[in-house]
Structure 1
Amino acid sequence: MKAIIFDIGSTFTKGVAFDLDKSEIIGRAKYPSTVNEDVTIGLQNVISEIERQTGLNIRDFNIKKATSSAAGGLKIIAIGLVPDLTTEAAKKASLGAGGKVIKIYSYELTSSDLDEILYLKPDIIILAGGTDGGNRYYPIINAKKLSRLPLNIPFIYAGNKDLQDEIKNIFLSNSKEIYITENVMPEYGVINIEKVQNIIREVFLRNIIHAKGLDKVQEIIDGIVMPTPLAVLKGLESFSEIYGECLLIDVGGATTDVCSVAKGEPTQNNVILKGLKEPYVKRSVEGDLGVRVSALSLFESAKKDIIKSFSHDKVKVIEEKVKFLNINTSYIPKNDEDLHLDAILAYFAVKIATERHVGHIEMVYTPMGTLLFQYGKDLRELDKVVCTGGPLIYNPYRVESLKGVIYSNDEPFILKPKNPTFYVDKEYIMFAIGVISEIYKDKSMSLVEKYINKV
């Protein structure tokens, strides 16, 4: 059985061909994306190269599917009531569905909030707020304000279930497309995100692909089946079925993604778990931590520590090189000095992104003694980390970059893995494994075993 899986990105369109019966890659190609012209041009160039490599025609492949993060990805705005509760739950649902959360809002939307929403041009807006039987005011008032905006996009309501009919009528009366689903937080502190994630994916397939002009690919292949980040997450789930709880780090030019498949419950005595319970499969995206498009913001985030890695006379040169990378986003390092800089930038992208993803412990002093509260996942005992993304696959100094994942005694309350084994997606196929896993789980796991190897 032959499969060909594509990733239509904003910069490149990539394709990987497989013989699934043998669990082998039989062809691969990439070509600059042509989303702003005709998306099928870049796709057809990739197909032609893979046909040349394999001696097969595109019609000979049993499976022909694609993922996409083109045209800015799936841009989502999440709106809730309390920042650390319903708003955070809506954000987690969006990220877990492969979305790019461009803004979150809490409480009542102001005029300036509404103006900003129009400026941001989201693909989907998720409105949450109130536990079931709880707050009624904020979901209703925000629904009224949102429904009057001149936006022709889908809205998803995932708040207080008692308001579903009223919310639906508010949007329909203003000729808006509205999807109603289960509350992301039906009870205080309880997260329920699976249903809304399914709706997000359904909306992506039905609406967003067409809106971004990507539906033309259906003339050539079987269509785009999910956002690329969701495909990577599903690939990691296949990895976890073999190796157990795990973490994935994906360093890119614009963002660094971190995904975990783990419970993250407290691993030490006398620790009290607080805050929202984290989803077992969790994804976080750091839009300010990339080694090209976001190189300047990454540099500013860790400037003092980055400078320490170089001699004093090199500081100005390094600052200029970072500015160069920020502008020349397709630049590939050509000498040892540039490779070293890329590795250092990747180290801090990994370090900061992992610290934001994992949980932390807060020490509180009370008359009864010292209390330890854990927020988020404790991943100190997690022992499998998968790395992907150019700097972590191709850079000869990648082992140094990966040290950013590891727990530090200098920061004992940041709950990063203590002694992980690293695996590398050396063929850059995690997204394809994720797509295949939805059709043939066993074959996706065979690909994991063959191609996701220890560093």
Structure 2
Amino acid sequence: MKIDVLVAEIGSTTTAVNAVDLGGGGDTPRLLGQGMGATLEDPGDVTVALRSAIRDLASNLGEASPDDLQWDLMMAASSAAGGLSMSVHGLVYDMTVRAAREAALGAGAVIKMVTAGEMTQSDVEELRRLKPKIILLAGGVDYGEKHTAIWNAKMIADSKVGCPVIYAGNVAARPQIRDIFEQAGAKTYFVDNVYPKVDELVVEPARRVIQQAFEEHIVTAPGMDKIRTLVDGPIMPTPGAVMEACKLLWPVLGDLCAVDVGGATVDVHSVAKGSPEIQAMLEAPEPLAKRTVEGDLGIHVNARNIAELVQDRVQLELGFDPWPVLQRLEVIPKTEHQVKLVCYLRDAAVNMAFKRHVGVIKHLYGPQGRMTVASGKDLSSVRLIIGTGGPLTRLPGGAEALSGLIGKGYGRELYPAAAEVALDSQYIMAMCGVLSKRFPEQAKNLLLQSLGLNHEVSGYYNRQGQVGT
């Protein structure tokens, strides 16, 4: 069987392979089938899981052997080998550090360490212990303070961590920083300052280079060294691929957000300009595309933690004692009580993760009296909320969990005022994000099929294919 593109999603526990027919380059691409393999079968070599998933795909497509499958290109998203672990270093936490952090998160990073100001020897020791895959160094507006960035470059070079460094700080410090890392033999990328002026964020150039560096260096990670024997196309961090899928839809749909509920984390992605009224009130700039990741709300890893956060009402609302069920909870819930409990925990996690992502209206008091400002991401103009991840797309009540977010802000929090809800029914958001690097139109159309949205218009989609305004 001839396949145009295979797109793999390599996770820490499982690996999926998606077969895509590009529709002859037209607007009718198809997802032909999917296959699964266990990454843990041989964590020292992800190609074992990839080949297992390809065997499963061949079986699902009715082929006698994986040798009967042929494809033109194979691409991948990966969160294996610890995903894209990064450290972020800047000058002032609420300015350059925050801007660099937004760039890293938007690229799909797992941020292991953040420092503001001059790094200390204990910071260097922590950096050596964490061994991030990429270091992002920022600091200072352009042609402003540069001592801190240069000091931190020397400390990072002395750490001999051995990973690539991306410099996204004051351009006036570049020559000295280039010399420092060249003498240390460190691979260095130079990009636009993430905070070139006060109250100005420029995060997209850094995001692109972070993903480029990830693709170039992921092949040296434990278990990933043989990946290029199979994957000859782009490799992206999985959360970054989901963000790319959101950005792919934004030019047509307008402001949107996606909630990705997983076993280890809950990620919220938004691509939104917000309302002009709120923009005028913002006390600090926000990126167009923003990702937050909640490591304490993963439905499998943190089930007990979530239950404890809502323990005052969980038993009353479920109608049974959840604690014995938690003791025997499986990755894929099987019993009626397990399903009910996981759905309840999922709904609670969605609410908490979204609340942490969304901005707020605040009242400040000073000599001139009360002043009203906005802080954080404005989602009030979001017209579509997308749900992805197994707990949202494979268990009952996912759409209802997301619908409960609409109009919830009570005038203080900047929740969507009126929005449609769509579920990623084929669980292909990350896949489409990767596919968009080479085939953006086909990726967009596949994603719309999975979301049940079938009319391309200048307004927005809804589940019935009706046009909104």
Q: 1:9-88 counterparts in 2 under 5 A?
A: 9-21=11-23, 22-33=28-39, 34=41, 36-54=43-61, 55=63, 57=67, 60-88=70-98
Alpha-carbon contact 1:68-1:224 (below 8 Å) kept? no
With normalisation by structure 2, the TM-score equals 0.88
What is the aligned partner in structure 2 of residue 416 from structure 1? 415
- CA change 1:7–1:58 in 2 (3 A) is farther
Shift of 1:131: 0.7
What residue is the counterpart of 2:458 in the other structure?
none
| 1:46 to 1:193, Cα distance in 2 relative to 1, 3 A | same
Deviation of residue 323 (structure 1)?
A: 5.4
2:273 alignment partner in structure 1? 263
Q: Work out the CA distance in 1 between the residues paired with 2:97 and 2:214.
A: 21
Rounded to whole Å, the distance in 1 between the matches of 2:32 and 2:333 is 28
Cα offsets for 1:163-196 (capped at 9, x unmatched): 1111122222233332222211111111112222
Q: 1:102 to 1:125 in 2, by over 3 A?
A: same
Q: Does 1:283 align with 2:283?
A: no
- 1:397 deviation in Å? 2.6
Name the CA distance, whole Å, in 1 between partners of 2:393 and 2:158. 47
Query: How big is the alpha-carbon RMSD for the aligned residues of Structure 1 and Structure 2?
Result: 2.3
CA contact (8 A) 1:407 1:414 kept: no
CA apart distance, 1:249: 0.3
Which residue identity is paired with 1:86? Answer: T
SS for the counterpart of 2:74 is strand
Mapped pair 1:304 → 2:312: yes
State TM-score, norm by structure 1: 0.91
* 1:350–1:404 CA contact under 8 A, matched in 2: no
Corresponding residue pairs, total: 444
Corresponding position of 2:226: 216
Counterpart residue identity of residue 435, structure 2: I
Match in the other structure for 2:282:
273
- 1:263 Cα deviation from its structure 2 partner: 0.5
Asked whether the equivalents of residues 384 and 422 of structure 1 are also in contact (C-alpha less than 8 Å), the reply is yes
Aligned match of 2:455: none
CA contact (8 A) 1:98 1:228 kept: yes
> C-alpha distance in 2, partners of 1:35/1:233?
29
Matches of 1:425 and 1:219, distance apart in 2: 30
Pairing of 1:32-431 with structure 2 (within 5 A): 32-33=38-39, 34=41, 36-54=43-61, 55=63, 57=67, 60-267=70-277, 272-275=281-284, 277-306=285-314, 309-310=317-318, 314=320, 317-322=321-326, 324-325=328-329, 331-403=331-403, 405-408=405-408, 411-431=410-430
2:318/2:340 contact within 8 Å kept: no
Q: How many angstroms does 1:244 deviate by?
A: 2.3
Which range moves more in the overlay, 129-138 or 30-39?
Answer: 30-39
Secondary structure of the corresponding residue to residue 273 of structure 1: coil
Structure 1: tracts of 5 or more residues without a match: none
Unaligned runs of 5+ in 2: 453-462, 465-469
Instruction: Look up the equivalent residue of 2:54 and give its one-letter code.
Output: I
For residue 247 of structure 1, report the CA deviation from its aligned partner: 0.5
Offset, 1:224 = 4.8
* Larger mean Cα displacement after TM superposition, 126-135 or 444-453: 444-453
Once residues 348 and 115 of structure 2 are traced to their aligned partners in structure 1, the CA distance between those partners, rounded to angstroms, is 29
Aligned equivalents of 2:69 and 2:35: distance in 1? 17
Q: Is the 8 A contact 1:266 1:374 kept in 2?
A: no
Give the AA of the match of 1:401: A
Larger CA deviation: 196-205 vs 400-409: 400-409
CA distance in 1, matches of 2:387, 2:29: 21
2:440 corresponds in structure 1 to 441
Q: Could you say what secondary structure the match of 1:272 adopts?
A: coil
After superposition, give the CA deviation of every residue in 1:205-255 in whole Å (9 maximum; x if it has no partner).
111222233241222232452111121112222333442221100000110
CA distance in 1, matches of 2:163, 2:76: 23
Distance 1:53 1:335 in 2: 27
Contact 1:231–1:435 (Cα < 8 Å) also in 2: yes
CA contact (8 A) 1:19 1:26 kept: yes
1:35 and 1:208 mapped to 2: Cα distance?
A: 17
The 3 A distance-change label for structure 1 pair 401 and 440 is same
Matched-pair contact (CA < 8 Å) for 1:425–1:451? yes
Letter in 2 for 1:213: G
Q: Which moved more, 1:236-245 or 1:377-386?
A: 236-245
1:112 is paired with a residue whose SS is helix
Deviation per CA, 1:130-151, whole angstroms, max 9, x where unpaired? 1111112211222222211141
TM-aligned CA distance change 1:336 to 1:59, over 3 Å: closer
In structure 2, do the counterparts of structure 1 residues 274 and 306 end up closer, same or farther at CA, with 3 Å as the change threshold? Answer: farther
Corresponding letter in the other structure for 1:32? A
Deviation digits for residues 95-126 of structure 1, max 9, x if unmatched? 11111112211112223322222222211111
Q: 2 CA distance for matches of 1:274 and 1:308?
A: 41
Task: Give runs of ≥4 in structure 1 deviating > 6 Å.
Answer: none
Deviates more, 1:77-86 or 1:430-439: 430-439
| Residue identity matched to 2:376 | G
Residue 268 of structure 1: CA displacement? 6.1
Q: 1:58 to 1:207 in 2, by over 3 A?
A: farther
CA contact (8 A) 1:339 1:397 kept: no
Change in 2 beyond 3 A, CA 1:176/1:437: closer
Q: Secondary structure at the match of 2:159?
A: coil
Distance 2:121 2:376 in 1: 33
Secondary structure of the residue aligned to 1:143 is helix
What's 2:460 paired with? none
Are the aligned partners of 1:10 and 1:35 in contact in 2 as well (CA < 8 Å)?
no
Shift of 1:366: 3.8
How far is the alpha carbon of 1:267 from its aligned partner? 4.3
- Cα deviation for residue 338 of structure 1 reads 1.5
Q: Distance in 1 between matches of 2:369 and 2:306?
A: 40
C-alpha displacement of 1:37: 2.8
User: SS where residue 141 of structure 2 aligns?
Assistant: coil
Identity within the alignment, % = 34
Q: Partner of 2:457 in structure 1?
A: none
